[in-house]
A and B are shown apart, each in its own frame.
Chain A
Amino acid sequence: MKRKLEEQIIALAYGELEGAEAESLLEQISQDPELRREYEAYRKQAELLNAVPPPPAPSFSSERLRDAVFQQTIRKQRALPALGVIGAVAAGLLTLVVVQQIATSTRSAPIADETPVVALQDLPAPHEWVPSLIEDIQGSVGSGTAEPTVKVDVAPPVAKQPAPAQRANKKRTPAAPTRSAPSNESAAAPDSLNEPSPPAEDETVVILEDGGKAIEMEGTEGVAFGG
């Protein structure tokens, strides 16, 4: 059977074909047993579908819908702060990593309590003078002298030679000067960092038993140890 004819038979059986077209097709069907069988099969099918009872009455209520919508909204609202917390934690971690990276890149050696403080302004870059300083220190230690001395060949133009106490400190921590905030002492007397100052008249240099050196200052109880 041709597809077009079958389509028309199905449409007729389901009541979707009317008028002259339907009458013409019915005439054709009545004369052909095969067409009649097709038509009857689809007509029976359409009848069965029409006879299917409607669904049972549902039990709906607007209150139930409102509750469901409310629950859905609550779920969404709960999800939003959770996302915010996750975002905040991520941002915090990122900040921490960045700060740590910055700190690592700016600090070349651990900061000791006695690390000398130098003026930050007008200093040459550390890589210009630190290597020679380290070489001097290593040379002094290698020679086995009991009282190593520090000789700074390439002194910074402004901090040409540290004060004795600071020099002693440098021997213990031969790292580059840090950019930590200046202490009160350096803030009070910034010139002492710029000018090599010999022991003052009221200072006494004491040689310690272990080869160390201390400077006693009259009128004060503070003693700076070095060496």
Chain B
Amino acid sequence: MDAAIPKQDAMGATTDEALIQAVREGDFQAYEVLYERHRLAVYRFIYQMVQRQEEAEDITQEAFVRAFTNLHKFQAKARFSTWITRIALNLCTDRIRMSQRRSNLEQKEAQGGLEWMTMANAAPSPVEKIEQERRAKIVRDAIAQLPEHHRTAIVMRDLEGKDYEEIGEVFGCSNGGAKLRVLRARRALRKILEPLLEEGMANEVSNDEA
């Protein structure tokens, strides 16, 4: 059994499978390696789903705690990255549903408290920066209005750049099924985004005229 698990990948790093085996044998440091390897990707996905940094950090940690406590259920035929993404998706879904139950006032307050960050390595002018932030906000608002399954598809494919195979694994469907889900999500996003963009353009024109 142990011999079947590849210990190192092509780059000489310990494989996820070998680390998982070590964790199962009681080596928590091996789990810390897994955590450091995958936490950023998981966090990015979660952040795009919930759009709040603190919440995204909390969910990321919770996802890894759950993965650790359920590691005995993990099957080697799946990738750890896919498995942890599915756990994260479930947690995000719970959070999104909870937040949808809140009152509109609470939602507005929460959205008002969002901090939109800029790209650290780019150095746009202040005007360009404001424009970037405005567009980013429009897109995020549009994504936030999507049903959860469309949002997941857009985040995984168009924001996180995951391939269709991994998306299919997360959704539990084939490559073709994943492509179809992404296609439908893009159509749905367009229906929401176009009016917002037109509204944004109209506001821009009126501001310029003033």
Nearest B residue (CB) for A3: B183
Q: Are A54 and B44 in contact (CB under 8 A)?
A: yes
Counting chain A CB atoms within 10 Å of each CB, the highest count among B28, B40, B61 belongs to B61
Residues of chain A whose beta carbon lies under 8 Å from any beta carbon of chain B: 7, 10, 14, 41-42, 44-46, 48-60, 62, 64-66, 68-69, 72-73, 76
Interface pair B69/A72, CB less than 8 Å apart: yes
Question: Are B117 and A68 in touch, CB under 8 angstroms?
Answer: no
Indicate whether A45 sits within 8 Å of B35 (C-beta atoms), given known contacts A64-B61, A65-B65. no
Q: Are B60 and A66 in contact, with the CB atoms below 8 A?
A: no
Q: How far does the alpha carbon of A56 sit from the alpha carbon of B114 in the complex, in Å? A: 12
Is A45 touching B39 in the complex (CB atoms < 8 A)? no
Q: List 9 A-B contacts (CB under 8 A).
A: A14-B158, A52-B140, A53-B116, A56-B115, A58-B39, A62-B32, A65-B32, A65-B65, A69-B68
Whether B44 lies near A62 (C-beta < 8 A) is no
Bound Cα distance A50, B132 (Å): 11
Q: Would A55 and B135 be within 8 Å (CB), given that A62-B36, A65-B64, A66-B28 are in contact?
A: no
- The reply to whether B183 and A10 form a contact with Cβ atoms under 8 Å apart is yes
* Residues in A whose Cβ lies below 8 Å from that of B165: none
Q: Which of B120, B132, B139, B183 contacts A49 (CB 8 A)?
A: B139
Q: Which B residues fall within an 8 A CB radius of A?
A: 28, 31-32, 35-36, 39-40, 43-44, 47-48, 53, 56-57, 60-62, 64-65, 68-69, 115-120, 132, 135-136, 138-140, 154, 158-159, 183, 186-187, 189-190, 193-194, 197
B32 touches A54 (CB 8 A): no
CA distance A50 to B139 in the complex (A): 10
Tally inter-chain residue pairs, CB-CB below 8 A. 93
Q: Given contacts A54-B44, A68-B62, could you give 8 more A-B pairs where the C-beta distance is less than 8 Å?
A: A10-B187, A42-B190, A56-B47, A65-B32, A65-B35, A65-B61, A72-B65, A76-B69
Q: Is the CB of A48 within 8 A of B139?
A: yes
Interface centre among A51, A59, A76 (most CB of B within 10 A): A51
Q: Contacts of A64 on B, CB cut-off 8 Å?
A: 61
Q: Name the distance in Å between B3's Cβ and chain A's nearest Cβ.
A: 29
Partner of B117, one of A14, A53, A60, A62: A53
Tell whether, in the assembled complex, residue A69 and residue B53 are in contact, meaning their CB atoms are under 8 Å apart: no
**Would A66 and B183 count as touching, CB distance under 8 A?**
no
Residues of the A chain whose Cβ atoms lie less than 8 Å from the Cβ of B31: 69
Name the residue among A41, A44, A46, A62 with the largest chain B CB count within 10 angstroms. Answer: A62
Given contacts A41-B190, A42-B190, A69-B68, contact A55 B119 (CB under 8 A): no
Report the bound CA distance from A57 to B140 in whole Å.
18
Chain A residues contacting B187 (CB-CB under 8 Å) are 10
